[in-house]
Structure formats: structure tokens, C-alpha cells
Chains A and B, each alone.
Chain A
Amino acid sequence: MSWALFTFVIATLRAATPLLLAALGGVFSERSGVVNIALEGIMLAGAWGAVYVSFLTGSAWLGLLGAIAIGVVMAGLHAIASIKYHADQVVSGTAINLLATGFTEFMLNRVWGQGGGSPKVASLPDIGPLNLIVYIAFGLAILSWVVLYRTPWGLRLRSVGEHPLAADTLGINVFKMRYAGVLLSGVLGGLAGAALSIGLLSRFVRGMSAGKGFIALAAMIFGNWNPIGAMGATLLFGAAQSLSTIFQLMGIEGIPSQFFNMIPYVLTMLILAGFVGKSVAPAADGVPYKKTT
């Protein structure tokens, strides 16, 4: 019994990790006022980037940097389109997702020929029963909370997402802060992808993000745009994912696995509709800031 519990906890932590990293990215972007549904694409691109650089250099650490770099580039495109050119942020995010899908497949072909995935590459080391990236993720969650709620920079970032005009009248550069928020989400999204490919696995598989970017968004909403809340939410989602496997291992039948899979999504809808608790987005989330002269 305790062995099952142990396996369950490990499985939950592993499942939660990429979700958590991506959700943290979402938090920073949306707290600054920019909706970022491109997390899915950033994750995918980051996953590929990590494997590619690891493949080239043989070092998983450099792979990590590669993931971050590509995440920043993708997020940068979204940032420029949304902040500078006032693009509809949902449309822009969708475009990034498409780009990422195409780009990663394209590079998959180019570097490793046809096929669904890359060969095995150097991956991040395990510490105890868990991979390093798991510790990084949860560490970053706590760090994110501190930065967001306990530093001047965090206060300003949040002000820009709640009432950009007020921040502007106090001399805060709304555009710079929003760029920072979105680019940070690129860093974290890239890390989330790296978690998938060189953390929990050791290779890149086509389409390996499989909607996790959107689940991460749901976790962000569920967690009320708060890093610790996101942590709780991703643990919940990770648990739901692992539960079905554990149940099967334990021989508990009867509940179809698909219903477990549905839990995160149904939960999110219920929460958004206000049936279960209240989730309040940053007030200026999704609204491009235009200056009047």
C-alpha cells in the first residue's frame, strides 16, 4: 500500500512539473496584462530546442539554455505583435502555436530525417527518485511568488496588469514591463518544454506537448494567477493524471480512464463559471495599452 502511495506521489510530481513551469510562465505574462495562449507552442519549441542543443553539444545543461533561448524568441514574436502592434492576443498566440508545430516538425525532419522523434540525447540528471527539473520547477514556483509579491519589480508588474493607466501616471513604463512579463513566460515555457524532453524523457517526440500548455493555462486560472496557487493546481491535475494509472495498477476497475483525464478540464470550467470558488483575472488582462497624447 505504501509503495503504491509512494509511486503515486512520484508520478504526481513528475506529471505536475512541466505544467507548473508553463503555468508560472502564464502567470508572469498575464499578470503584466498580456494573454499568452502561445504557451503550448513555446513548450513544444522549447522541448525541441533542448533536445537539439543537447544533441549537438552532448550537454543537457546547454540543452536547457537552448530551450530557454527558443522560448524567448517565440515569446518575443508574440510580445511584439501584441504589445507593439496591438494584435488580438488570442489570435497572435494561436499563430505562435501553429508556427511552433510547423517549425519543430520541420526541424525534426531536417536534423533526424523522417520519423516521429529524435534519438536519445543527454538528459538532466536524477536526484533521488526525481529528476533535477522537478526540483527546479518547484523551486522556481516559490521564487516566483517571492518576486511577484515581495519585490518592487513584482508590485509594478502586477500594477501594469491591473491598472496600466495608474502605473503610467506614476512613471512606470507599461510597455517595458509587459515585454518583461511575456519574455519571462518564454523562459519558463521553454523550461517547461525542456522538462518534457530532457527532464522526464530523453528525446523529442513529435507533438509531445499534447495540449499540456493549455492545461497549464487552466492551472494558472485555477490557481488564481498566483504561483503557489498554480503549484497546487498543477499538483491536482498531475494527481488526476496519475490516479488512473495507480488505480489500474491497484486493480481498481470500473471507472474509465477517460473520466480521470477529463477532470482537470471540467474542474476549470466549473471554476471559471464561478460554481467552485472565485477566480479573478488581472483587470487589464488581454487589453492592449494605447497611449493618448
Chain B
Amino acid sequence: MPEEARWKETLKQGLRTFAVPVLATVVGLAVGILCIIVAGKDPVKAAQAFVQAVAGSPRMFGNVLVSTIPLIFTGLAVAFAYRAGLFNIGVEGQYLVAQVATVVVGVWWTPPQGFAWLHPILALAAGAVAGAIWGGIVGLLKAWKGVHEVINSIMMNWIALFLCDWLLKTYLRPDNSRASSYDLQETAWLTQGLIPGSRLHTGIWIALATAVVVWFILFKTSLGYEIRAVGYSPGAAEYGGISVAKALILTMAISGAIAGMAGSVQTMGLNHRFNETSTLVGYGFDGIAVALVGRLHPVGVCLAALLFGALDASSPLMQAMADVPKAVVSIVQGIVILFVAAESLWNFLQKRSAKKGVPAA
């Protein structure tokens, strides 16, 4: 097959894959603009604010990237699980337990002389392990008892919330005078200020590296092959000698680890402590939006994370300059997910194959 024809084919396939989320995003943004108009605000000013928040200065862009970092992780976590056919809504619980684990390592373990570089690595590892366990439990219950992972992961979110709250109030802070835990020792901090003036920290490299690792696992390893086979067709996977149970458990564990890393990196890079969390905030849902819009591919996830990160980061400025409330972002996200999900809706884009099922005569 001539090389240029193959390029065209790949391009066509790529376009087809991206058409849906792009269209859904356009619809979402249109609704967002509609909301702005309904609110009696100026959409042009809002757009200007958006552009300025994103590209106005390196510092601004740096802050966009700060918002993007956790979204890359949570998006990757959800996308990875979805590849095995699993819906990991437990991202937030995994995030929380990872934060606690990171705080424990960051506060109570001091690296010996000359090994300061080990601190963030171990703290990150602790977070990943905590997240892996939290996610792995859900995977185990699914593989062993057939329990649907959605309800279980939501339950685990709440259990994590209360567990971490108790741990915080009992062990992790000096007394009731402050709402958050002890601070991490500085050796456990991630360097900030990659772009001068912004809070951009080295977590961005970790996030991108994770995306590469995820891509590698999914497309270049036999584990990834097994996971994708199980996600597409458990029957064919079983026929092909793949252990479906093993794939499910490993996937949830890895997904949990990635979600956990989101929490670790946020703690090490931004807050440097564990803040009291009274209720679930919905990190997981952002991750779902990013994963779906990114079509479950690491590259798409990074791009989608950038988009949603830009929306998040620009909302204070949009509020300040154009008086646009933060809630518009949630609405846009919701619309985008809804339209990406309603798959039949997009059937007119795809060529319908004329194959119909042949029933038993």
C-alpha cells in the first residue's frame, strides 16, 4: 500500500475519533455562551477574559498548567480503567487516601543526609500505593463477587472521606487550632516556579511522564493488550487465554494508583499539607469529563485536560472582568459529557455498515 494513502487513512481515522468530542465541546461552549448571555453578561468580555487568562502572559499560562496537572492524572486514571470496561468513579477517594499517605511520608520520615531527592519519590510512591489499594479493593470485589464497580467506588469515596477526616483529626495535626495537617518537610516539596511568577511546579513533568507510561502500558505491553481485549470483549479475551479477573484487578489498582498520584502531586506541589475536607468535591467527575473528551487516549487526555484546565483557571478572571460565575464551567462540562455519551446521536457521522444480525432460522 502506497505510503501517502496510509497517511491519509490514519488522518481520516484520527479525525473520526476526534470529531465527536470536538463537536460536543463546541455544543458545550455554545451552551456556556448562552448561559452567559442569559445571565445578562457580555460574552465578548468573557471571551477576552478567557484569552487573557490563558495566553495573556507566561505567568497566566503557568497557572493554566497548574490547573491542568491534576486533570491529567484523574483523566488518565478514568481513561485507563475505561479501557478495561471499568468505570472508576472512585478517583476522589483514591486521591484522598493518597494525600494522607503522602503526608505521612512527608511529615514523619526524614531522609538521611544526601538523600533528599528520595523524599518526593517515596512520598509519591506512598500515594500511588495507597491509591492502588483503594482502587484494587473495588477491582477485587468486581472480579471475585461480580459487584458493579460504580456503586462500590462511590461507597469507597465516602469511606475514604470519613477515614481521612478521622486520621487528620486524630493523628495528623497538632491540635484543633488548625484545619489542616502538619506541613510536609521541605525536602518533600516539589519545586515551584517553573515559569517565574506562577505556581507551576515540577508535577507537570510527572504528569506528562505518567501519560507516556500509560500510553506505553496500554499499547506496548502484553498487559495493555490484555486489558484492552478484556474491555472490548471479555469472551474473546477468555478464549485467547487471558485471565479476565487478573486484568480487572490490575486495572483498578493501576487506575487507583494514578488517581492517587494526582493527590500526592497536588499536596507536594501546591498545598504542602492535607486540608480538612468536609465533603466530596467532585475531582472524579472532572476526570470523567477529561477522559471522555480525550477519547480515552493519553494524548487526547492531555489535550482535554488542557482545555478543562484553561476553563478552570480562567474562571476567576472571567468572574472579575466579565462577572461570569464559576458555575458555567460545570454546565459546560456536563453538556460535553452528555453529548459525548449519547453515542447513537453521532451515528450519522459514521458510515453505517450494512451488516445486520442473522437470527437463527
* Docked-complex contact A217 and B151, CB < 8 angstroms: yes
Which secondary structure characterizes the binding site on chain A? helix
Range of interface residues on A (Cβ < 8 Å) = 35 or more
- Please tell me which one of the listed residues A85, A221, A259, A274 contacts residue B162 in the complex, with CB atoms under 8 A apart: A259
For residues 119 through 165 of chain B, which have their beta carbon under 8 Å from a beta carbon of chain A? Answer: 141, 145, 147-148, 150-152, 154-156, 158-159, 162-163, 165
For residues 80 through 118 of chain A, which have their beta carbon under 8 Å from a beta carbon of chain B? Answer: 81, 84-88, 90-92, 94-110
Contacts of A84 in B (CB 8 A): 344
* Docked-complex contact A258 and B165, CB < 8 angstroms: yes
Contacts of A104 in B (CB 8 A): 327
Stretch at the interface among B42-50, B180-188, B229-237, B284-292: B284-292
Interface residue B333 (Cβ < 8 Å from any Cβ of A) = yes
For residues 251 through 265 of chain A, which have their beta carbon under 8 Å from a beta carbon of chain B? Answer: 256, 258-259, 261-262, 265
Contacts of A266 in B (CB 8 A): 155, 159
Q: Interface 1/0s, chain B 277-320, versus A by CB < 8 A?
A: 00110100100110010000000000000000000000000000
Contacts of B335 in A (CB 8 A): 95, 99
Interface centre among B147, B156, B334, B335, by most chain A C-beta atoms within 10 angstroms, is: B334
* Docked-complex contact B141 and A95, CB < 8 angstroms: no
Interface residue B209 (Cβ < 8 Å from any Cβ of A) = no
Count how many pairs of residues, one from A and one from B, have CB atoms less than 8 Å apart in the complex. Answer: 146
* Docked-complex contact B327 and A102, CB < 8 angstroms: yes
* Docked-complex contact A98 and B151, CB < 8 angstroms: no
Q: Interface 1/0s, chain B 331-348, versus A by CB < 8 A?
A: 111110110111111000
Interface residue A292 (Cβ < 8 Å from any Cβ of B) = yes
* Docked-complex contact B162 and A210, CB < 8 angstroms: no
* Docked-complex contact A272 and B147, CB < 8 angstroms: yes
* Docked-complex contact B141 and A269, CB < 8 angstroms: yes
Interface residue A77 (Cβ < 8 Å from any Cβ of B) = yes
- A residues with CB within 8 A of B: 37, 77, 81, 84-88, 90-92, 94-110, 207, 210-211, 214, 217-218, 221, 256, 258-259, 261-262, 265-266, 268-269, 272-274, 292
30 contacts between A and B (CB under 8 A): A87-B342, A90-B87, A91-B292, A95-B334, A95-B337, A97-B285, A98-B289, A98-B333, A99-B334, A99-B335, A102-B330, A103-B334, A104-B327, A105-B325, A107-B327, A214-B158, A217-B154, A256-B170, A258-B163, A258-B165, A262-B162, A262-B163, A265-B158, A265-B159, A266-B159, A268-B151, A269-B141, A269-B152, A273-B145, A274-B145
- B residues with CB within 8 A of A: 35, 39, 87, 89, 141, 145, 147-148, 150-152, 154-156, 158-159, 162-163, 165-166, 169-170, 279-280, 282, 285, 288-289, 292, 325-335, 337-338, 340-345, 357, 359
